[in-house]
Chains A and B, each alone.
Chain A
Amino acid sequence: MIRFLLRRLAWFAVTLWVVVTISFVLMRSVRGGPFSAERELPPAVERNLRARYHLDWPLWRQYVHYVGPLNLAADGPEMLGGDGARPFGGLLAGELGPSFKYRDYQVEDILVESLPISLALGAVALVWAIGLGLAAGVLAAARRGTALDIALRLAATAGIALPNFVIAGLLILLLAFHWPFLPVAGWGDLSHLLLPGFALGAPFAAYVARLTRTGLVEVLGQDWIRTAHAKGLSPRTVLLRHALRAGILPVVSYLGPAAAGILTGSLVIEKIFAIPGTGTHFVNSALNRDYTLAMGVTILYTALVFALNTLVDLAYTLLDPRIELEEA
C-alpha cells in the first residue's frame, strides 16, 4: 500500500509538471493579454505593467521564474545578479504569485478563501446526490414494475438530461419566489447552499438512483436472497440489511468520479447563485488572461482529481480483494 502511494506520488509530480508546462505555454500563446481592455492603456503605461509582472522577459525565463525555486527578479539571489533580498520564489518555493486581475490578492489567498466554499457546496451536493439517489433507487427496486418505479426512472432520466442551470432556474422559481423558503442567491450560511447544492447534485443523484436500482434488482434475483426470505426475515430487513449492502457497490465506486465532477462542474451554479467559490475562477481566469490565477486553479484541480482517483483506486481494493494495488 505504501509503495503504491509513493509510486502514485511520483506519478503525480510528473503529471503536475506536464500540466504546468503545457498550461503555461498554452496560456501565453493565446491571443490577448492580462492588460488588454476595451479602453487601451497608453503604451508607456502598458510597458510599465508588463515589466512589473515580468511579461517583458523571454518565455523561458518567465517559465523558470514561475516554477522556481530561484527568484530571477531584481531581488533574487546574488549569484544571478539580484540583490539577494528574496533568493527563492516560484512554484517550488510554494508561491503561486500575485493575481494579475485582482491586484489585492495573492493566488494562494484566493484559493484558500474560495476552496472551502466550493468544498462545502460540493459536500451538500454530494449529500443530496447520495441521499436522494439511494432512496429513489431502493424505492424503485422494491416497487419494480409499478407506476412509482416508472415515475422514478423518468425522474432520473430527466435529472441526467436536464442541465443543472435549468434545474437551478426551476428551483429558484419554486422555492425562492413562489414559496419563499430559501434565499435566492448569495453566500452566508447553510440555507444558501441547499438550492445550489441540489441543482448541482441532481444529475449525480439521478446516476446514483439508476446504479442503485440496477444493483439491487440484480442482487434481489439471486439465490441467497431467496434463502433470506425463506428464513423468514421480513422483506424490509432483506432489502435494507442484506440486498442493499451488496447492491450499493457500484455506487461507492461512482463516488470518486462524482465528487470530482461536482467540484469541477460547479462554475455555472456558482454564477447563478452568486457563490464565491473556486469554480468562478476556473473559467474567468482564463477569459481574463489572469495567467497566475489560471495556473493556480489548474494546479489545484489537477491535485484534487488526482487525489480523488487515488482514493477510488484504494476503495476498489477494499471492496474487492481480487484487485491488487500494484496492478492499478
Chain B
Amino acid sequence: MAGGTDRLFRAGAALVLLGALSAALLLGPRAARLPRADLVANNGAEVRSLDPQTVSGVAEGRAVQALYEGLTALDPATLAPRPAVAERWEVTEDGRTYTFHLRPEACWIRPGTDPARFGERGDPVTAADFVRSWERLLHPATAAEYAYELWCVKGARQYTLLPEDRLYASTLRDPVWVAAAAGGRQRLGLTGHLLAELDGASEVAALRRPGDALAAGDPFAAAAGREVAAPIGGRIVAVNPALPAGAAALAADPYGAGWIAEIEASPAEAAAARAAGRLVDAAAYRRGWVWPHQVGLRAADPRTLVVELATPTPHFLALTALHPLYPVHLPSLAAARKRWPDAWETEWVKPEHLVTNGPYRLLARRLHDRLRLAKSPVYWDAAHVAMRTVDLLAVEHQGTALNLYLTGEADWIAAVPANLVPHLAGREDFRPAPQLGTYFFRVNVTRPPLDDARVRRALALSIDRRAISAKVLKGGQLPSWSFLPPGFPGYARAEIDHAPAADEPAVAAAAFAADCARARELLAAAGFPGGAGLRPLEIAYNTAEVHRDVAEVIADGWRRELGLEVCLANQEFQVFLDTQRTLDYDVSRSSWMGDFLDPVNFLAVFRAGGANNRTGWASSSYDELLDRAAREPDGARRLALLAAAERILMDEVPILPLFTYVTQNLVNPRLGGFSPNVLDTHPLHHLYWMDDAELARRRAADPPAGELAPAPGPREGLHPPAGRSG
C-alpha cells in the first residue's frame, strides 16, 4: 500500500470516527436536558396542533385545556360545568339565550420570551375575544374539525356551510341566492338562514309561473306569506315542481333541491348586478350580512357575551367547556400574519409567540418528545395551581410509557399495554373507571342478508360478551347491550332485547344459551334455518391484537351457534376507514367516544346519511324523534324522546354493541386532585402532591385492595394550596 494513500485512509477513518463522536457528544448535550418537571404525565400521542379551534383529539384536548380556558370548565369530580372565564351566567326560560358575564381578572399572558417581562399581565379576556374566536371556529377557511359543535348557535351552521359557488342578494330583506344553471339560465333560491327561521310547517311557494316576466326587485317567492324579491330579472323558464312545499322540506337542502325558480338571464346580467352591488359573492355575504345580522353571537360589552341558540340545547354549558370553544388571542394572530406572511400558521403557536389565557403557558416543545408547561403567574386562579412545571410526554408506545412510570420518570400514564392489564389490576395505583365510550361492530345494512333486521339481531344475540370482557380484554370492561354507555344523568338506556344475565358464571352461561337459541329462531324466521343458505360473512378490523382477538371470539360464536361461515379481514387503519366509509364491508369494528354528557352526542351519529353513520341504516322515525327532542324544552321529556330513539336503534340493530370502555390510568398514589370520571378528563391545575400525612390519611380512609404502590415524593412546596380540599 502506498504511503500517501495509507495516510489519507488513516486520516479519513479518523475523521469519520471523530465526526461521529463529536456529533454524538455535541448534539446530545445540546438537546439541553430540562430539569425534571413537578409533574410528568404521558399524553399518549403528539398533539396535532395547539390551536384550540382546529383540533379534536384527546391528547390535544389535554394540552389545550392546560393552556387556555373557556367560559366554563367541567368539575372533574361531578362533570358539572363550573365558572371559568365566565364568573356567572343567565339562561332565559326557553333555554335559547345565554348571557355570560366574564370575570374582570381573566387576562392573556403578555407575548414574548423576554424574561424581564415574563409574568406580566397582557390584555384582558373580553367577550369580543370569544365572539371572534368562535367566528374563527365557524369560518370555512379555518377548516375546523369541530366547527359543528357550535352549530347549535342560531345561524352558525348557515355561516359555515354557505356555498361558495354562487352570488347572494346584498340585502337583509330578501335573502336570495343566484347560481348559474345550464343553458344561460340563472337559478334563484332562498338562503338556508331564511328557511331555518321559518316554522317548519309553514308554506313556501313560487309567485310566478313559467313564461312570466320577472323584473329585478319584483317578488318571485312567498315564504310563510312574506314576499321575497328577486335581485335580477328575466323571463321565468322553470319553477321547482316540488313547490309549494313546507319550509322544513326545503331547509333540508336549500341550495340544491330547494331551489325556487329558473330565469332566462345571461351571466352578464348577474355580473352587472354584481357590479352594481345588488349581488355579492359568498365571502362578502358571509362577512357583511350573515355574521353581523344572522348569527346569534354578540358582545354586549367587553364583559358580557350574549349567545342565542337555534334550539334549546341543554348541554350548551358543557359545550363551552369543550376546547374548540376556547378563545385565542386574535391580536397576536394578526401580528403573526403580518410578520410571517408565509408561515404565520406555524409561527404563532411557537413557545416564544403563543399567547394563552389558561392556568399554564407553553415553555418549550419538542415534536414527539414533550410539551413543557409552566404555571402562568397571571392566571386568575393561580393561587390554586400547585404544579409549577408540567411535562406532557408524547410517548405513543404503551410499553415505553409503562417503563417510564415504573422507573419514576413519569407520574401518570393514561394507558397501559392491554396484555398487562390483568397484572396491574388490583394495584393501588391502577385506577380503571368506566368511560364514556362504546366498542361496537357496524353492520352494513345495504348488503343482503344483513338488510334483514332479524339476521342482524341473531348476530347481536350470539356474541359472548362476557367471554370478551373476561377472557380477552380482562380490564374490567362492562359488557354492553346498548349503544350508549352508562353514566348519562337521568337517562334510561334502551338495550337489545336479551336474556337477563348476572355475574355468576352459571347464570351467565344459561342466559347466553337462551340468547343463542333465540338467535337461531330469528335466523330460521329470516329463511336461514341452521345458517343454511347464508353466504359467508367477513368481519373487518384494523390492525391491532385486541381487535383481532375480539373478532375471533365473535366469529367463533357465529360459527358454533349459528352455523355461519365467517372470515376475518385485517386492514391497515386508513384502508380500513376507507372500507367503512364506502360501505365495502359486512361487519366492521368501530367505537365511539363521547365529548360531553348528553345522549345526543351519541345518538346523532346514526342520523340518516350522517358522515359517521357508515352502516347505510336510515330511519325517518329515529331522525324525527331526535328532531323532536331538539325542540323539546322540558328536560325529562327530551330524555324520554332520546331513549325512544335508542329503542329504535336497538331493535333494528345496525350496530352490535359489545362493551363499554374503561379508562386505564396508572397514577402515583401521592397525586392528589385526580378524580376518575367517565370523560377521563383530569385538568392539570387540579393536581397536587400530597404530603405523607395526607397520603396516610387517604390510605386509612379508603384502604387499597392490593398492596401499596410506591409513592415517590413529596416534592417541596406542592401540597394542596390554601382553599382547595383535595
Measuring CB to CB, which residues of chain A are less than 8 angstroms from any residue of chain B?
A: 30-33, 36-46, 48-49, 51-52, 85-86, 98, 101-106, 109-110, 113-114, 116-117, 119-120, 122-124, 126-127, 130, 172, 176-177, 180, 183-190, 192-193, 197, 245-246, 252, 255, 271-274, 276, 280, 287-289, 315, 318-319, 321
Q: How far is the CB of A158 from chain B (nearest CB, A)?
A: 23
A105-B346, A183-B407, A274-B400 known; A45+B31 contact, CB < 8 A:
no
Q: Say how far B555's CB is from chain A's closest CB, in angstroms.
A: 22
Q: Mark B396-433, 1 if CB is under 8 A from A, else 0.
A: 11011001101101000000000000000000000000
Task: Assess whether A120 is in contact with B367, with CB atoms less than 8 Å apart.
Answer: no
Q: Which residues of B does A touch, CB under 8 Å?
A: 1-2, 5-6, 8-9, 12-13, 16-17, 19-21, 23-25, 27-31, 33-34, 46, 48-51, 54-56, 140-145, 147-148, 160-161, 341-343, 345-346, 349-350, 366-369, 393-397, 399-400, 403-404, 406-407, 409, 572-575, 577-579, 581, 590-592, 611-612, 614
- Assembled-state Cα–Cα distance A51/B139 (Å): 13
Residues of chain B within 8 A (CB-CB) of A39 are 56, 592, 612
B574 touches A32 (CB 8 A): yes
Most chain B CB neighbours (cut-off 10 Å) among A44, A122, A180:
A44
Q: Is the CB of A185 within 8 A of B140?
A: no
Does B369 contact A109, Cβ atoms closer than 8 Å?
A: no
- Cα A37 to Cα B591 in complex, Å, equals 12
Q: Is the CB of A193 within 8 A of B28?
A: yes
Residues of B within 8 A of A46 (CB): 611
CA gap between A119 and B140 in the complex, in Å: 41
The docked-state distance in angstroms from the alpha carbon of A109 to that of B575 is 29
Contact between chains at A44 and B140 (CB < 8 Å):
yes
15 pairs, CB–CB < 8 Å, chain A vs chain B: A45-B145, A46-B611, A48-B143, A86-B342, A103-B51, A103-B54, A113-B366, A114-B367, A120-B27, A126-B20, A172-B403, A180-B407, A185-B395, A274-B369, A318-B9
Asked if B403 and A52 make an inter-chain contact with CB atoms under 8 angstroms apart, the answer reads no
Measured in the bound complex, the distance between the Cα atoms of B143 and A33 in whole Å is 16
Partner of B407, one of A120, A176, A187: A176
Complex contact B54–A280 (CB within 8 A)? no
A-B contact count (CB 8 A): 195
Interface centre among A86, A124, A184, A271 (most CB of B within 10 A): A184
Contacts A38-B591, A117-B31; is A176 near B9 (CB within 8 Å)?
no
A40 touches B28 (CB 8 A): no
Chain A residues whose CB sits within 8 angstroms of the CB of B396 once the complex forms = 271
Q: Across the interface, name the chain A residue whose C-beta is closest to B35.
A: A188
Could you tell me if A177 and B407 are in contact, using CB atoms closer than 8 angstroms?
yes
Nearest B residue (CB) for A246: B1
Bound CA–CA A185/B590 (angstroms): 32
What are the residues of chain B within 8 A of A41 when measuring CB–CB?
145, 611
Q: Which residue of A lies closest to B24 (CB)?
A: A123
Contact status of A106 and B369, CB under 8 A, knowing A45-B148, A271-B397, A318-B5: no
Contact A48 B141 (CB under 8 A): yes
Q: How far is the CB of A28 from chain B (nearest CB, A)?
A: 12
Given contacts A104-B349, A190-B25, contact A31 B12 (CB under 8 A): no
Closest to A50 in B: B143
User: Contacts of A187 on B, CB cut-off 8 Å?
Assistant: 31, 366, 369
Q: Closest 10 interchain pairs by CB?
A: A32-B574, A188-B33, A276-B368, A123-B24, A276-B369, A103-B49, A48-B143, A123-B20, A40-B611, A49-B143
Q: Which of B141, B367, B578 contacts A31 (CB 8 A)?
A: B578
The answer for the CA separation of A176 and B405 in the assembled complex, in Å, is 12
Residues B5 and A110 in contact, CB atoms below 8 Å apart: no
Which of A104, A113, A124 meets B51, CB within 8 Å? Answer: A104
B341 and A190 contact, CB distance less than 8 A: no
B517 to chain A, nearest CB (A): 35
Output the nearest chain A residue to B368 by Cβ-Cβ distance.
Answer: A276
| Cross-chain contact B409 with A184 (CB below 8 angstroms) | yes
- Contact A102–B341 (Cβ < 8 Å): no
- Chain A nearest Cβ from B316, distance in angstroms: 19
Asked if A116 and B27 sit within 8 Å, CB to CB, the answer is yes
Q: Assuming A42-B148, A185-B403, A318-B8, is B28 touching A190 (CB within 8 A)?
A: yes
Q: How far apart sit A245 and B17, CA to CA, in the bound complex (Å)?
A: 16
A123 near B23 with CB under 8 A, answer: yes
Q: Tell whether, in the assembled complex, residue A43 and residue B5 are in contact, meaning their CB atoms are under 8 Å apart.
A: no
Contact B574 A43 (CB under 8 A): no
Partner of A102, one of B33, B367, B369, B573: B367
Q: Which of B397, B403, B577 lies at the interface centre, i.e. has the most chain A CB atoms within 10 A of its CB?
A: B403
Give Cα A127–Cα B20 distance, bound, in whole angstroms: 7
Which residue in chain A gives the minimum CB-CB distance to B17?
Answer: A130
For B29, the chain A residues whose CB sits under 8 A away are: 189-190
| CA–CA, A40 and B582, complex, Å | 12
Contacts A45-B148, A120-B23, A120-B27 given; does A109 touch B407 at CB 8 Å: no
Could you say which residues of chain A place their CB within 8 Å of the CB of B50?
104
Given contacts A190-B25, A274-B395, A287-B573, contact A104 B49 (CB under 8 A): yes
Least CB distance, B12 to chain A, in whole angstroms: 6
Taking CB atoms, residues of chain A closer than 8 Å to B611 are 40-43, 46
Query: B574 to A30, Cβ gap below 8 A?
Result: yes
Q: Please state if B341 and A85 are interface contacts (CB–CB under 8 Å).
A: yes
Residues on A with C-beta less than 8 A from B33 are: 188-189
Determine if A289 and B54 form an interchain contact, defined as CB atoms under 8 angstroms apart.
no
Q: How far is the CB of B151 from chain A (nearest CB, A)?
A: 9
| Residue in B closest to A105 when the chains form the complex, CB atoms | B346
Given contacts A102-B48, A183-B407, A183-B409, contact A276 B367 (CB under 8 A): yes
Q: Whose C-beta in chain B lies nearest to the C-beta of A113? A: B367
Q: Which residue of B lies closest to A248 (CB)?
A: B13
Extra contacts, 8 of them, besides A184-B400, A186-B369, A321-B2 (Cβ < 8 A), are A48-B140, A124-B24, A185-B409, A186-B393, A186-B404, A188-B31, A192-B28, A272-B399
A322 to B573, CA, bound (A): 53
Residues of A within 8 A of B147 (CB): 42, 45
A116, B406: Cα distance in complex, Å: 29
Expressed in whole angstroms, the minimum distance between the Cβ of A296 and any Cβ of chain B is 13
Nearest A residue to B395, CB-CB: A274
CB <8 Å contact, A189 and B27: no
Q: How far is the CA of A32 from the CA of B578 in the complex (A)?
A: 5
- Of the candidates B56, B397, B591, the one having the most CB atoms from chain A within 10 angstroms of its own CB is B397
Q: A101-B48, A274-B393 are in contact. Are A109 and B346 (CB under 8 A)?
A: yes
Q: Which residues of A contact B8 (CB under 8 A)?
A: 318
Residue of B nearest to A268 (CB): B397
Evaluate contact between A103 and B21: CB separation under 8 angstroms: no
- A51 to B350 Cα, complex, angstroms: 25
Residue in chain A with minimal CB distance to B144 = A45
| A123 proximity list for chain B (CB < 8 A) | 19-21, 23-24
Q: A106-B346, A123-B23, A271-B396 are in contact. Are A184 and B28 (CB under 8 A)?
A: no
Query: Chain A residues near B34 (CB, 8 Å)?
Result: 188
Contact, CB under 8 Å: B368 / A114: yes
Alpha-carbon gap, A321 to B23, bound state (A):
30
- Please indicate the chain B residues that have their CB under 8 angstroms from the CB of A192 in the complex: 28
B581 touches A193 (CB 8 A): no
**Please, how many angstroms separate the alpha-carbon atoms of A52 and B395 in the complex?**
30
Question: How many Å lie between the Cα of A192 and that of B591 in the bound state?
Answer: 37
Q: Which residues in A have their C-beta under 8 angstroms from that of B349?
A: 104
Q: Which of B346, B366, B395 contacts A98 (CB 8 A)?
A: B346
Q: How far is B99's CA from A261's CA once the two chains are assembled, in angstroms?
A: 62
Please tell me if the beta carbons of A177 and B406 are within 8 angstroms of each other in the complex. yes
Give every chain A residue within 8 A of B9 (Cβ-Cβ). Answer: 252, 315, 318-319
With beta carbons under 8 angstroms apart, the residue of B5, B21, B141 that contacts A52 is: B141
A48-B143, A102-B49, A276-B369 as given contacts; A36 in contact with B409, CB under 8 Å: no
Asked if A287 meets B572 with Cβ closer than 8 Å, knowing A52-B143, A120-B24, the reply is: yes
State whether A32 touches B403 (Cβ < 8 A).
no
Give the Cβ gap from B280 to chain A, nearest Cβ, in Å.
Answer: 19
CB distance from A127 to the nearest CB of B (A): 6
Task: Please tell me if the beta carbons of B346 and A37 are within 8 angstroms of each other in the complex.
Answer: no
Residue of A nearest to B32 (CB): A188
CB-based contact A98/B345 at 8 Å: yes
